A and B are shown apart, each in its own frame.
Chain A
Amino acid sequence: MPHPVLASPDLIRFEGDTPHLVGSRCDECGEVYFPATDSCTRCTATRMSPHDVGHRGTLWSWTIQGFLPKAPYNSGETPETFRPYGVGYVEMASGIKVESRLTVADETQLQIGMPLELTLIPYRTTGEGEVFTFAFRPSASA
């Protein structure tokens, strides 16, 4: 199966069909970053290596985006067609919390601590087809 067109391909690495988030890790102090950076704000080192941030986590905080964001948001929606979307910080295995869209936008279905897994969702359509971005969805286990 061909991989979908991504808003930012550098953020994602595939293990088979399973997307993983790609970040960086400080060679000096081990601090993990997403997206990847070329310096460490913790220890000021500048030697970093690519790091697999993973594809499973737990919900650390969440909100529901209730209004259509202005540009540079480029989903192509109008105030009439806009559908609220979930946004959260997801705590990954290393302890880093990644800000992400959530597939769920229903407040009764969101709870801090719930297990989530990475997926890709279409968020805009161009002449060439759908463009995907990363998002987290509820999963059976963390």
Chain B
Amino acid sequence: MAQDVAIIGIGLHPFGRHDTLTGRAQGAIALRAALKDAGIGWESVGIAYGGSHDAGNADALCNDLGLTGLPFINVANGCATGGSALASAVAAIRSGSAEFAVAVGFDKHPRGAFNPHPRDWGLPDWYGETGLMLTTQFFALKTRRYMHEHGITEDALVRVAQRAFRNGALNPQAWRRREMSYAEIAESMPVNLPLRQYMFCNPAEGGAALVLCPAEIAKRYHPKPIIVKAAVVRTRHHGSFEVFSPALAAQQAPAPTVTASRAAFEQAGVGARDIDVLQLQDTDSGSEIIHMAENGFCEHGEQERLLRDGETEIGGRLPINTDGGCLANGEPIGASGLRQVIEICTQLRQEAGARQVPGDPRLGYTHVYGAPGVSGVTILQR
């Protein structure tokens, strides 16, 4: 049995818009906060994995933190950058190649929707030039089909967004801290129907960092270490319905989220029923609904009832995105997956203040999904 790895330090630079700070500066602030939380210095870190999509090489953080000569691996895995950095840091500690490892991410995106270039994704120019290569279109097309197949109505789309902003209002570090009425969301501008303005998250800025070490020594550094029971990344299969697909195969295959989730549950030796608090990728309301079932937390089609009955609220049986998720925090790609892990650590440490889930949460779960079809899942235990 591989040795357990623990998170002993978490640090976040709040997501949002910070005109006077570079993305890297926000990453450095998050990283210093994580090191302080762990009570160790940068010179003790044996290996680091970090990523940023639009704000430069993560390894440039060494110019801020100190040129200690450590191996610093730049990670570039889209929305799964944070999850990939964490999975790599865990593997490094398990292999004994470092005692202290860091996973860090930051970003600073231009305003408005992302504008990917077809060739970077192995796609022909016409796909972008004729207006078919937009992430928002994909989310809408997948959501529309899912609603059709599983009897989900627009009501569920509104309720996901409403809960995100309600939770964001309870989170002092959230970007969007204003609750929104049902009507305000349901009547907001159509962006890509069935998805409307307030059902989408926005590109943003921010930084997030974790410090990890072997679980057996973790209590020397933090009174409440969080054990990483699983950290899994999986890519798409032929036939799964992915972003940036000029066509879909005749026969459908499960999403990478499904395979990542199953592998994580198997590694951790627990099931969906055991999870007390969770984060699901919510680039948009529809994605969160689909991800509830793809990660095994409910049957396909059951989501609407769970949302209506309040089961996904902070006080419910299945508290989802307790910090407001991507919808209320925005998405700095390099940092977003680590923000999810930080929120679960905060909940399991019972330090989430007004948004703390009640009872005695022991097990948490995080999930990211991104282009061109990659998912990262972690299972965390107090």
Check B131 against A63 for contact (C-beta < 8 Å). Answer: no
Check A63 against B140 for contact (C-beta < 8 Å). Answer: yes
Q: Which of B117, B193, B247 contacts A63 (CB 8 A)?
A: B193
Q: Is A115 an interface residue (CB 8 A)?
A: no
Q: Which of B117, B118, B128 has the most CB of A within 10 A?
A: B128
Q: Which of A33, A64, A98 contacts B193 (CB 8 A)?
A: A64
For chain B, residues 16 to 58, give those with C-beta under 8 angstroms from any C-beta of chain A: none
Residues of chain A contacted by B194 (CB below 8 angstroms): 63
Check A112 against B126 for contact (C-beta < 8 Å). Answer: no
Q: How far is the CA of A75 from the CA of B128 in the complex (A)?
A: 11
Residues of chain B contacted by A100 (CB below 8 angstroms): 132
For chain A, residues 66 to 98, give those with C-beta under 8 angstroms from any C-beta of chain B: 66-67, 69-75, 85, 87-89, 94-98
Q: How many A-B residue pairs have CB under 8 A?
A: 116
Known: A61-B148, A66-B189. A87 touches B251 (CB 8 A): no
Provide the B187-219 mask, 1 if CB < 8 A to any CB of A, else 0. Answer: 001111111000000000000000000000000
Report the minimal beta-carbon distance from B291 to chain A, rounded to whole angstroms: 18
Interface size in chain B (residues, C-beta < 8 A): 38
Q: Which of B126, B132, B192 has the most CB of A within 10 A?
A: B126
Smallest Cβ-Cβ distance to B190: which chain A residue: A66
Check B141 against A89 for contact (C-beta < 8 Å). Answer: yes
Known: A99-B246, A99-B247. A72 touches B117 (CB 8 A): yes
Report the minimal beta-carbon distance from B194 to chain A, rounded to whole angstroms: 8
- 20 inter-chain pairs at a CB distance below 8 angstroms, sorted by A residue, are A7-B126, A11-B126, A23-B247, A35-B246, A42-B239, A60-B145, A61-B141, A63-B192, A63-B195, A65-B137, A65-B192, A69-B134, A70-B115, A72-B128, A87-B131, A97-B248, A98-B247, A99-B246, A123-B131, A133-B126
